[in-house]
């Protein structure tokens, strides 16, 4: 049986709250509109097979947009229900689920869901954010693997403008 892994946060509670307060201040001042603030967790000395872990995540989450990336001896594993950005040649595609709502076959319920979506400050904010994304897409920095390379096994050589 695999040995249990003890996860630790890179930020203690005090540092997390301090950064959260700074983010809130920047939002109130209008410096930023929205931020995805993540906490990194790590496990020193853990022995795992990254590919096996990725496959287990895939099996459990069934996430349609996932990535397994190796850079030397560091790995990035992610699983997401939405595509934030994808670059195809000179075209940038975004398929977010933010600012959306489920539909209903029951007309009164469908109208209620529509109004709830229309009146949600959070969902409206996310819709506005993605409307701003369109004209900015040309300047988004994206990494492209060299022709014929497997991005799961090769490190990036440089960032290139879309």
Task: Report the catalytic residues.
Answer: 82, 98
* String of DSSP letters for 87-146: EETTEEEEE--TT-----SSHHHHHHHHHHHHH-HHHHHHHHHHHHHHHHGGG-EE--PP
- DSSP characters for 59-97? HHH--SEEEEEEETTEEEEEEESSEEEEEETTEEEEE--
Phi, psi for 78 (deg, rounded to 5): -145, 155
Secondary structure of residue 50 in the 3-state scheme:
helix
Answer for the pair 156, 142: CB distance below 8 angstroms, yes or no. no
Rounded Cα gap, residues 76 and 138, in angstroms: 26
């Amino acid at each position: 049986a695999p040995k249990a892994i003890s996860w630790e946060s890179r930020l203690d509670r005090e540092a997390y709250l301090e950064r959260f307060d700074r983010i809130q201040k920047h939002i109130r001042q209008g410096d930023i509109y929205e931020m995805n603030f993540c906490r990194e967790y790590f496990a020193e000395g853990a022995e795992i097979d990254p590919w096996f872990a990725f496959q287990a995540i895939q099996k459990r989450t069934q996430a349609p947009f996932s990535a397994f990336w190796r850079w030397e001896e560091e790995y990035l594993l992610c699983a997401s229900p939405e595509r934030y950005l994808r670059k195809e040649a000179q075209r940038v595609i975004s398929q977010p689920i933010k600012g959306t709502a489920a539909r209903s076959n029951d007309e009164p319920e469908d109208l209620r869901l529509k109004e709830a979506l229309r009146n949600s400050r959070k969902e409206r904010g996310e819709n506005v954010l993605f409307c701003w994304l369109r004209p900015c897409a040309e300047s988004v920095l994206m990494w492209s693997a060299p022709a014929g390379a497997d991005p799961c096994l090769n490190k990036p050589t440089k960032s290139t403008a879309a």
